[in-house]
A = this chain, B = another copy of it.
Amino acid sequence: MRHSLYEADHEDFRQSVRAWLEKEVAPFHDDWERAGIVPRELWTAAGAQGLLGIGVAERHGGGGVRDFRWSCVLSEELVRIGASGVGFGLHNDVVGPYLQDLATEEQQERWLPGFCTGELITAIAMTEPGAGSDLQGIATTARRDGGHWVLNGSKTFITNGINADLVVVVARTDPEAPGSRGLSLLVVERGMAGFTRGRNLDKVGLKAQDTAELFFDDVRVPAANLLGTEGHGFAHLMQNLPQERLHIAVSAVAAAETVLALTVEYVTTRTAFGRPIGSFQNSRFVLAELQTEVTIARTFVDECVRQLDSGDLTATDAAMAKWWTTELQNKVADRCLQLHGGYGYMSEYRVSKAWRDARVQSIYGGTNEIMKEIVGRSMGL
């Protein structure tokens, strides 16, 4: 299937990203997996390379183009080399839009330049130990005290949690307002008194990605760090979640393509019973089924990207893309691991890492069950 999402410029950018990643990331990622984190220097190097803040205005040091395809290229290239620990996507595509769209000019001046140079690494903290799928259950509170908000509570599973310098924290600023009302976004900065981090969580995969708990103990956040409108936190999240989900879907498709390609190569070289194992009809059918679904997924996600860029992508579309592609990614990784036989179970084989990395995709960004709720609701059910 001929795909036509990208233009020549994007493909040029892909080449330069690929070259940079081959040099700066690929040789070190295994070490970072062992370390459980990527070094801060990678971020500033990426900033220098123009990989951070592609969509941020030029006056703040960004790329100045709001075209989601550049982000997609970057995500895809990271995925292709298995660089699952490098949290640029969260920074650019998930946190970025909050800062670009909700921050005041003053805030933008404070934060965006560092965002683009890689000196300010970002994170977003919604989930709490007791509130994941159900954001209405958020218990972190921020009480107004003069020119500050006094923040108390804890967050968990926060991507870039150790490295982050700026954390967009969802907190309850109006304790009276029921459910999702009364939430606001506060930007907590590294070094604020009372803001501590838990350990870097040990995960099944995404080994090089720092994921952590964050604790807020009477953290005094200046009122000037309120992001967006007080009490509109939930609406702000709803506004940005489609892009976060599409970002996940884009990486899911790229991951599926990657593992499928390397498996096709594996099964054409590995032999058993005197034949390439890819020549057994079962292998052929399994791979043909996966190839079909990956092709279909690519077509759909490409269309979603177009519609995101044209402002047409609905929350329902994003939910569809998120659950379906991540389920597919997991299926592809699983079937491909099986086709590797015993080698598939060895950590040194890329397919085994792909399988472990894939598993979280159907969980974060809103679980796939929550995605089905969203789709179901859109059908009037």
A324 & B292 in contact (Cβ 8 Å cutoff): yes
A330 nearest CB neighbor, chain B only: B334
| Interface SS of A by simple majority | helix
- Asked whether A285 and B347 contact (CB < 8 A) given A295-B320, A320-B295, A337-B359, the answer is no
A132 & B268 in contact (Cβ 8 Å cutoff): no
Question: From residue A271, how far is it (CB to closest CB) to chain B in Å?
Answer: 8
- Asked whether A201 and B292 contact (CB < 8 A) given A268-B381, A300-B299, the answer is no
Chain B residues within an 8 Å CB radius of A132: 272, 341-342
A288 & B379 in contact (Cβ 8 Å cutoff): yes
A363 & B341 in contact (Cβ 8 Å cutoff): yes
* Selected contact of A312 from candidates B2, B317, B324, B352, CB within 8 Å: B2
User: Is A28 close to B, CB under 8 A?
Assistant: no
User: Is A362 close to B, CB under 8 A?
Assistant: yes
A352 nearest CB neighbor, chain B only: B204
Chain B residues within an 8 Å CB radius of A300: 295-296, 299-300
A203 & B346 in contact (Cβ 8 Å cutoff): yes
A381 & B264 in contact (Cβ 8 Å cutoff): yes
Which bucket holds chain A's interface residue count?
A: 35 or more
User: Is A68 close to B, CB under 8 A?
Assistant: no
B372 & A289 in contact (Cβ 8 Å cutoff): yes
* Selected contact of A360 from candidates B320, B345, B372, CB within 8 Å: B345
A133 & B341 in contact (Cβ 8 Å cutoff): yes
* Selected contact of A292 from candidates B320, B348, B362, B380, CB within 8 Å: B320
Question: How far apart sit A312 and B288, CA to CA, in the bound complex (Å)?
Answer: 20
B342 & A134 in contact (Cβ 8 Å cutoff): no
Question: How far apart sit A273 and B281, CA to CA, in the bound complex (Å)?
Answer: 14
* Selected contact of A272 from candidates B1, B137, B334, CB within 8 Å: B137
- Asked whether A376 and B2 contact (CB < 8 A) given A346-B202, A347-B203, A356-B204, the answer is no
- Asked whether A1 and B292 contact (CB < 8 A) given A347-B203, A376-B284, the answer is no
* Selected contact of A379 from candidates B156, B202, B204, B291, CB within 8 Å: B291
Question: How far apart sit A296 and B323, CA to CA, in the bound complex (Å)?
Answer: 12
Question: From residue A281, how far is it (CB to closest CB) to chain B in Å?
Answer: 4
User: Is A355 close to B, CB under 8 A?
Assistant: yes
Q: Which of A200-244 contact B (CB under 8 A)?
A: 201-205
Question: How far apart sit A303 and B2, CA to CA, in the bound complex (Å)?
Answer: 10
Question: How far apart sit A278 and B344, CA to CA, in the bound complex (Å)?
Answer: 30
Chain B residues within an 8 Å CB radius of A291: 320, 375, 379
Question: What 9 additional pairs, Cβ within 8 angstroms, besides A204-B346, A288-B372, A338-B367?
Answer: A1-B314, A134-B272, A204-B352, A280-B281, A282-B372, A288-B379, A295-B317, A296-B300, A342-B364
